[in-house]
Chain A
Amino acid sequence: MAYNKRLDGRKFDETREIEAKAGVIKKADGSGYFRIGKTSAYAAVYGPKELFPKSMQDPKTGVLRCNYNMMPFSGAGERVRPGPSRRSKEISMVTKTALLPVVDLTDYPNAVVDVFIELPQTDAGSRCAGICAASIALADAGIRMKDVVTAVSCGIVDKQVVIDLDYAEEAYEGGDVADIPVAMIPSTEEITLLQMDGNISRENLKKALEMVKEPLKKIAEIQRKALKDKYK
């Protein structure tokens, strides 16, 4: 059976409902909240501040550090054990490299900017939601940036190219599934995060990467609006 209709009734190129806010964490230098469907992420930025130990410092530029963490009750199944896992460490790393190309920290030699991402609930797409929230938080903290970074997943569910897979689609058993989280700099269309698991043909990958551009630009607008709304 072909995947003619999405499980939750969305159009193939339609994301789930999105909500974004800036300045949600009072004690942080910058913060953001990003929810897409039932996946939500908080991000807080602290810094620039002096980096310790000193051996980690870079005299030419500030350093960006990212930390992605799922809260213990944020998974659909059993409780997630607190503390870092192999998965969260990898996601922290790719989150950093997704954000770095737009962030200019050369004004802050020997300093660090910390980005903490916490997920209270997830339904797939958590690293993308984390990147969107982090991007809002960095801008809110007044860090110099070329653009926002925006992220969402695209992929294949039984030969059909779709945008923003939820958990039910990732677990679809009627055919091949591929999940491709993508982060992009909207103004240049450069891709800063690309991962994939599943199975997809070269042609379909191209189709998916084409299809994801418009939704990504729409998300970028939502992120910018969140930042403007803070000053309303």
Chain B
Amino acid sequence: MNKDFKNHIEKSLSKNIRIDGRKNDEFRKITVETGIISTAEGSARVTCGDTEVIVGVKLDIGKPYPDKLDEGVLMTGAELYPLSNPEFESGPPREESIEIARVIDRGIRESGTIDVKKLCIEAGEKVWMINVDIAPINMDGNLIDIGALAVMAALKDTKFPELKDGVPDYKKISKKKLPISKLPIEITILKIGDTFLVDPTYSEEKLTDARLTVAILEDDSLCAMQKGGEEPLTQESIMKMIDIAIKKSKELRKFLA
């Protein structure tokens, strides 16, 4: 990143001014569309400023894990397509994209958002596998929050294909939806110097000292966390960041209504 640009952002932040004129706790404009991919059983497109993410859900049938014989399986993947940002390169998934997928996955899995026992067809043999893939089209920051919102919107949109001789018939989609009981929202708070920010752009993310992602449920309880960045955080900072996250989660959850 250009050094002068970096100085400019940091200097402005110290006066509580963000480069795009937003408040520190203000998101960019968000739009959510669902049912946009005809080849997926569930899908969503979420835009937030210049960040645009597509999520597709494919369902198929597979064998359960040996330690959870009567539970379906949720798998979340993310790829940072080189199409979406000049700094992403082709090749196998790197740390960044694996972290994004795992943090989003954890928020949904650990909260018990999906009742995986209801995905069991035949214990030990056959269960529904939910494959969620996160595909950024435009990447201008905050991929965890926007990706997680798109994943929840796509899961809510998902309908089971009908079964024909025990095999899914993707041409016949039933009206049956996934057993979803909770709506976790992920909010990432960035710390740059002494400033706390939400919904960072890609250039703001580059200045990260530390960040904290919190997954929050309807009752304000937390169901997953991830600290990132190279600087440590004090307990006081962490509690402050969680308070901002809880407040913002209410705004974002409205988009899933």
Check A27–B139 contact: CB distance below 8 A: yes
**Which of B39, B84, B92 is the one whose CB lies under 8 Å from A122?**
B39
* Listed stretches A67-75, A97-105, A182-190; interface member: A67-75
Which chain A residues in 45-79 approach chain B with CB under 8 Å?
A: 46, 67, 69, 71-79
Main SS class of interface, B: mixed
Chain A proximity of B82: nearest CB distance (Å)? 5
Hey, what's the 0/1 contact readout for B79-104 against A, CB within 8 Å counting as 1?
Answer: 10111111000101100000000000
Which residue on chain A has the smallest CB distance to residue B202? A27
A115 CA to B163 CA, complexed, in Å = 40
Check A120–B84 contact: CB distance below 8 A: no
Which chain A residues in 171-225 approach chain B with CB under 8 Å?
A: none
Chain B proximity of A134: nearest CB distance (Å)? 11
CB-CB under 8 A for A42 and B83, given A25-B137, A27-B50, A73-B39: yes
Check B40–A69 contact: CB distance below 8 A: no
A83 CA to B77 CA, complexed, in Å = 12
**Which of A67, A71, A83 is the one whose CB lies under 8 Å from B82?**
A67
Check B83–A76 contact: CB distance below 8 A: no
Main SS class of interface, A: loop
Which residue on chain B has the smallest CB distance to residue A115? B83
Chain B residues with a Cβ closer than 8 Å to the other chain, count: 33
A44 CA to B82 CA, complexed, in Å = 9
Question: Is A114 at the interface (CB under 8 A from chain B)?
Answer: yes
CB-CB under 8 A for A120 and B37, given A27-B86, A67-B90: yes
A77 CA to B54 CA, complexed, in Å = 19
Question: Is A38 at the interface (CB under 8 A from chain B)?
Answer: yes
Which residue on chain B has the smallest CB distance to residue A31? B83
Check B83–A72 contact: CB distance below 8 A: no
Question: Would you give 23 A-B contacts (Cβ < 8 Å), ordered by A?
Answer: A27-B50, A27-B85, A27-B86, A38-B38, A42-B83, A42-B137, A72-B56, A72-B133, A73-B40, A73-B131, A74-B40, A78-B58, A78-B60, A79-B131, A83-B92, A116-B81, A116-B82, A116-B90, A118-B135, A120-B54, A121-B38, A122-B39, A123-B38
- A interface with B by C-beta (< 8 Å): 24-29, 38, 42-44, 46, 67, 69, 71-79, 82-83, 114, 116-118, 120-123
